Amino acid sequence: MSPPSPPGDPLAELQTEARNPASARLDELTSVELVALMNAEDATVAAAVGMQARAIAQAIDAVAARLAAGGRLIYLGAGTSGRLGVVDASECPPTFQSPPTQVVGLIAGGPGAMFQAVEGAEDSPELGEADLRTLEVAAKDVVCGIAASGRTPYVLGAVAYAKSVGAFTIGVTCNAESDLERAVDLAVVPVVGPEVLSGSTRLKAGTATKLVLNMLTTGAMVRLGKTYGNLMVDLKASNAKLKARANRLVRTVARVEAGAADALLVACGGDVKTAIVAELAGLTPDAARQRLRESGGRIGPVLAGLARATTPTVVTGRPHRPDLVLGIDGGGTNTVALLADLATGAVLGRGVSGPSNIQSVGVDQGLKALDACIDRAFAAANLPRARVGAIALGLAGVDRQEGLDIIRGWAERGGVADRLRTANDATLLLAAGTPDGWGLAVIAGTGSIAFARSPAGEVGRCGGWGYTLGDEGSAYMLALRGLRAACRAADRIGAATALLPKFLARMSLAEAPDLIPAIYRGPWDRAAIAGLAPVVLEAAEAGDAVAGEIVRAEATELAATASAAVRNLTLPTRLPVALAGGLLVGSTAYRTAFLDALAAVSIVPDPVTMVADPACGAVILARRSAMLPPRDSAKSEFE
C-alpha cells in the first residue's frame, strides 16, 4: 500500500501520477513479461481517445474554419507534450504542402528544449505569454495547449493570453477536471490512467496525445481539401520518397504510366493536384490551376464537373458486347463479378478478387480488384474481355461524390460499359430478393443491419452500428453472449450450460481460464469469435436452455431492428423481405427464430427470399439499366 501524500502535494490527485497496480513489481519482470504488460496497457489508449471523438471532431471543425480564414494553429507545451506539438506541426508542410507558418509548434525553453531539457522553463506562465506575443497571436488563430498533467504553468499562461486576444483555445490533457480543461474553450481529455512507470507521461499519455494531434491536423487538412479520397494529393515532393509518392498518386488517379506522370509533374511545377486535373481534363497547367482555385483547391468538384461534361472513351482494341452485362458486389473482404446475358439474365462467368473498398485498401488497390474480378468473370465464360452493355456495382466505401467520381472515371477510361449504375447494399439485396425492388432487407452475418426501401425509392436503415455499439442479432453477438454465459457458468454464477465444454472443444482449449489469453491475446478477433456462433446454435437445437434463450433474445433484437426500419419509413407491415448474411442464410433454426420474432411485432414477410449472392442483384440492376431509353443512358447516380 502506498503511503499517504503529504499535505499540499500538487501531484497527489493526478491520474497520470498514480501508481499502476499492474506494474507494482515492474523491476521483477522478465523482458518478455515487461513487453506484454506494456503492450496490454498501450492497448487501452485508443479506447480512451475514442471516448473523446466528439470533442476532437469539434476541434477539427474549429481549426479548419480558422485556417481557411487565414488563421494559424499554434501548439505549445513543455517536455514531451511540447515535442509532440513541434513534431506534428513540422510534418504538415511536407504532408499537405501547407505554409510553414500555418501550423506552428512551441516548446517551453525554445528549440533547444527539443533535444535537452531546459530546467524551470515549464514553470513560467510569463514565458508562455511571451512566446505567443512574439508570434503576434490574434483572434483568427487557434492556440492548442498540451499538458498531460493539465497544470503546466507555461501552458496555462499562454492559454490565458490567447483568450485575452480572442483566439480560440483548445486543451489536450490526460487528467480530468484539470486547470487546463477549465481554462480553454474546448478540452480534449483522453484519460489513460496510471502509467506503467509511475508519472512517466511520455508513455500512455504521450501516445494518446500523439493520436489526438494526428487527428486534429489530418482532419483539418482533409476539410481544407488537401486530400482526394484518402490520397495525399497536396504533398510537397521535397525528397526522393515523396517524389516517388507524387508519381504514384498521379498514376493512380490519372491512370497514366510512370514516365507520363513524371512529365506531367514537371510541366505542373511538381504540383500533384494540378497534374491530375490537367491530364483528366486535357487542360494546360495554368487552366488546371484556375479550375482548382475555383473549387477551393478540391479535386472532387472539378472532376465531377468533367464527368458530367464528357463521354466515355473506349479502350482501343477492346471488343464491344452490348448483349452482355456485369454485376459487381464489392466489399472489404472480397469482390464478386458476374458476367450475364442481357436478354435472359443467365450468368455466363463468375470472377472473385480481393477487397475493393477504396476507403480501406486505397484507390489503386480497389480499382485493381474491380478489374481483376471482371477479367476472371470473362475468363470463366471463355470470352475475351469486352465493353459490355451495362454494369451495376454495389461497392462498400463508395457513398460520397468523390468515390463516385473515382468509379465513374475508372469505368469511362477503361471502356468498361456503355452504361454505369452504382448502388448501395440495400438496393442490391432488394433487387435480388424482392419482386419489385422495394421492401425490407435484413443482413445478419458477422454484423447486422436492416434496410428498407419504399416503392417510391426512399431508403432507410437501422442498425449497422458495429460490434461495440450494436450488431444485435449478429453472429458475433450470438457467440459473445454464449461465451459470457459459459464464463458465468464456470464461476457458478449463471445457469449451468453445455456451452462451456463445447466452446473449449471448438477452440482447442483445455480449461475455462484458457479463454482469457485466447480471447485477449490470441487469434480470436471479432471475425473469429463470430465463427463460434454455430456452437450456440447447435447447443440450442440440442435443448440447452441457456443457448436457446440467447438465440431467441438475439433473434428478437434483430426483429426489433428490422421492424424499426419498416416503421420509420411508414411502409406496410406486409411486405417483401430479402434475407442475407451467413447467419440468416446458413442456419434454418436461426432464420425461423427471426421470422417468428418478426411475426410477434406484426411484420408479415410476403414473400421471403434468401439472397446468397448479392451480385445477382447487381446483374438485375445492370439489365434494367441496359434496357433504359437512350436519353437515360448516362445513369450513374448512387442509389
Residue 418, classed as helix, strand or coil, is strand
Query: Any idea of the CA torsion for 132, 138, 140, 145, to the nearest 10 degrees?
Result: 30
Active site residue 177: no
Sign of torsion, CA 106 111 116 118?
negative
Q: Cα–Cα distance between 221 and 235 in angstroms, integer?
A: 11
Options 17, 122, 195, 472, the catalytic residue: 122
The grid cell for 204 is 500512455
Options 13, 17, 33, 91, the catalytic residue: 91
Q: Cα–Cα distance between 531 and 508 in angstroms, integer?
A: 14
Sign of torsion, CA 98 145 147 50?
negative
Question: Going by C-beta distance under 8 Å and a sequence separation of 6 or more, which residues neighbour residue 249?
Answer: 231, 232, 233, 235, 272, 276
Active site residue 538: no
DSSP string, 133-181: HHTT--TT-EEEEE-SSS--HHHHHHHHHHHHTT-EEEEE-SSTT-HHH
Residue 565, classed as helix, strand or coil, is helix
| Cα-to-chain-centroid distance, residue 275 | 28
Radius of gyration of the chain (CA): 29
The grid cell for 3 is 503511503
Q: Cα–Cα distance between 333 and 255 in angstroms, integer?
A: 24
Question: Going by C-beta distance under 8 Å and a sequence separation of 6 or more, which residues neighbour residue 453?
Answer: 426, 427, 430, 437, 438, 439, 441, 459, 460, 569
**Which active-site residues does the annotation give?**
91, 122
